[in-house]
Amino acid sequence: MVSTRYLGRALLLLSSLSLATCATNPATGKKEFSTVSESQEIEIGKENAAAVKAQMGVYDDPKVREYVSTIGKRLASEGERPQLPWEFTVMDDPAVNAFALPGGYIFITRGILTHMNSEAEMATVIGHEIGHVNAKHSVQQITREQMGQVALVAGAIASTQVAKHLDELRSGLGLLFLKYDRDAESQADELGFKYALNDGYDVRKMVDMFQILQRVSGGSTIPEWQSTHPDPGNRIEATEARLKTVTKPLDSARVNQDAFLAIIDGMVFGEDPRKGYFTGTTFIHPALAFALDFPPDWPTKNTDQAVAAISPEKNAILELAGAGNDSPADALKKFMANEKVQTGTPRNITINGSPATQTQFSAQTDQGQLRGLATFISYSGATYRFLGYANANNYGEHEEAFLKSMNSFRGVSDPKILHVEPARVSVEKVDQAMTLAEYYQQHPSSIPIEQVAIINGIQSDTKLEAGQKIKRVVGGVQSGN
């Protein structure tokens, strides 16, 4: 159910259809039909930016935040829309990703920063995202879809109300803001190239950045950046063609590798175990000091909102999420207040020393009748909601697994677990000439050598020079799931 606040926003956007005008695109100079004013564009971006930050989390390092913001604002100030309220945010997300929301809200993840090797590379990526905003690509999408697309805007804005998992938020935002066509991507590349070049950067590094992204996508998992920035053509060739048109010398252009590496030295790499991690089928949350076991062979997912598992047959789900500071009984009452949920008689139990309330429930959904088991557990001043549910016809075959997993919830006191630290980037100097493979043998990383090569933009047989800076990844927890 969308709140009246968001319905009001939708009506405001719908009303813009009657006020549609022809406007000049700042990036192209062409006249375009638009149903969204600049003030509305900014408001859409502002509200969605708040939702993204709340759901994904902001990387808490002032020096990184100021560094990225300073460069981003400088590039934006030289573009076609310097008057926008430009904001550049580093997300606490391991995905290799960067994206833009309307109105000048740019997001870049720590994941993509740890794969970069210079300020020049970063400038081309940020410039690309600025290009999407300056060329009003999201505004064009809204206008093209008109009524249907405006309804989607209302849904996206309300995503903080309805999203249960981070992936849903990403998907909802991606549907509106991140899926650009071939022409839009090519234009954003061209604009990013121009902004970086005009600001004095060595734009040859744009090729290096595309090559790194291409290598990241070489495995079974497509990086977020590439999935949200479709690449139907050869963008490396397109960039090389642009380089041939550059008339000013680039050998003395700004790269700022040392400054950039100093900023990301010590940055968290990969998943942060402090937010919870798996070792085999056991999920451990160091910050909240608890652990629990999921059924063997059930694929799992950990987000900021919940940790969940789905049966191999994809017909049953187990999910643990926070339920506030209410007592288990009060939390269960709120759960039972949902008119679509019918519950049995609750029973008070104890799970490994923690008081809990448990009941079976059923619910009618668009996909049919569900049956489930709900357990609310009080632990260390907080209450957790543990749900196990399946299609009514399949509940019986999964009930034992639900009970076993819920009864495994327990406190953790081992200092090694409670004080676990994430893996981090370590920037080091090579003391003598050797290959990366030889260096890796002498100075192992927490990640495979193939991944070390990728984040450094080199090959495993690349000859390293004495004094050359190299990125390693040290520490962290080796996940067993």
> What's the distance, Cα to Cα, between the start and end of the chain in Å?
36
Q: What is the mean pLDDT of residues 95-111?
A: 94
Whether 416 is covered by a domain: the verdict is no
CA 237 – CA 126 distance, rounded (Å): 20
Q: Do residues 173 and 56 lie in contact, with contact meaning Cβ atoms separated by under 8 Å?
A: no
SS (H, E, C) 105-138: EEEEEHHHHCCCCCHHHHHHHHHHHHHHHHCCHH
Residue 282 clears pLDDT 60, i.e. is over it = yes
Q: What is the pTM of this model?
A: 0.79
Q: What is the mean pLDDT of residues 418-426?
A: 95
Whether 79 is covered by a domain: the verdict is yes
Q: Do residues 158 and 300 lie in contact, with contact meaning Cβ atoms separated by under 8 Å?
A: no
Whether 158 is covered by a domain: the verdict is yes
Strand-pair category, 434-435 with 463-464:
antiparallel
What are 358's strand-pairing partners?
A: 347, 375
Q: What token pair was written down for 150?
A: 């405006």
Q: What is the mean pLDDT of the chain?
A: 85
Whether 66 and 178 map to the same domain: the answer is yes
Q: What token pair was written down for 255?
A: 């790269």
Residue 318, domain extent: 273-409
Instruction: Write the pLDDT tens digit of every residue in 302-344.
Output: 887 899 999 999 999 999 999 999 999 999 999 888 878 898 9
Q: What are the Cα distances from residue 332, in Å, to 3, 328, 337, 361? A: 24, 6, 9, 11
Whether 170 and 101 map to the same domain: the answer is yes
Whether 201 and 233 map to the same domain: the answer is yes
- Residue 101's pLDDT is 92
The answer for residues whose C-beta is within 8 angstroms of residue 69's C-beta and 6 or more apart is: 87, 88
- Residue 20's pLDDT is 55
CA 367 – CA 342 distance, rounded (Å): 17
Domain-terminating residue out of 220, 245, 264 = 264
CA 250 – CA 121 distance, rounded (Å): 14
Domain with residue 398: its CATH number is 3.40.1000.10
Whether 479 is covered by a domain: the verdict is no
Domain-terminating residue out of 386, 409, 432 = 409
CA 388 – CA 181 distance, rounded (Å): 40
Which residue did the predictor score with more confidence, 119 or 5?
Answer: 119
Task: Name the percent of the chain lying above pLDDT 70.
Answer: 83
Residue with tokens 């008339």: 247
CA 138 – CA 156 distance, rounded (Å): 13
- Residue 122's pLDDT is 98
Whether 65 is covered by a domain: the verdict is yes
Whether 418 is covered by a domain: the verdict is no
- For the chain, helix (H) and strand (E) counts, in that order, are 18, 21
Determine how many CB atoms are found less than 10 A away from the CB of residue 221.
Answer: 11
Nearest residue to 402 via CA among 282, 303, 460, 317: 317
Q: What share of the chain is helix, strand, coil (3-state, %, to 5)?
A: 40, 25, 35
- Residue 145's pLDDT is 58
H or E segment to which residue 375 belongs: strand 368-379
Domain-terminating residue out of 368, 383, 409 = 409
